Structure 1
């Protein structure tokens, strides 16, 4: 098996748009194309390093979420963020507090509506 046939069969370009060594006419040309493609692939992979994985998500149980939401309703999101960040020793963002507050209010509204609906069915 000649070097040219080995190069043509095994080293297809990984990056689109690069020349294909299969289309070369001589072994020297194929080797040059493979070397150039390898260099381009190496440079492009260094420019785009693998994405850095995000850290762990913070998990809060239902009781803590409820406390955070109630405090946010009473005192405000910013005070709540400061208080519970220091209390839990975790960085708590304002957007997380706002989303907990919103979810809590939505659940309360759903619960109240369910109670009203069930009372209406009991009386008929």
Structure 2
């Protein structure tokens, strides 16, 4: 009897170590992801901030313009974009060529820019394409 219980405890412990507690992929089941582009061109090294009534979460875009946020707040989200590149010198207006990629218009650096998404949980995609 004691060996049966010990065996069950060992098997359970082994399964937890092997498979983890986060599901089959070991990650969160509440993920919001997407791509940020300007005129169809992906934007890299951009901080994407999702702001909800219960908090906010952010993610950095990769070289393909993709971002991934785990456990974003549920409900109506507003999005704010922030470049990770240093600001240009005073009096200099960056172009796509000088910045090394598409330039985000200043309007999108504030949360009241029209970018919004209603997140209800689970794995969802919100692509942002600025024209």
TM-score by length of 1: 0.29
- Greater share of helix: 1
- Please identify the structure whose Cα radius of gyration is greater: 1
**What TM-score, normalized to structure 2?**
0.28
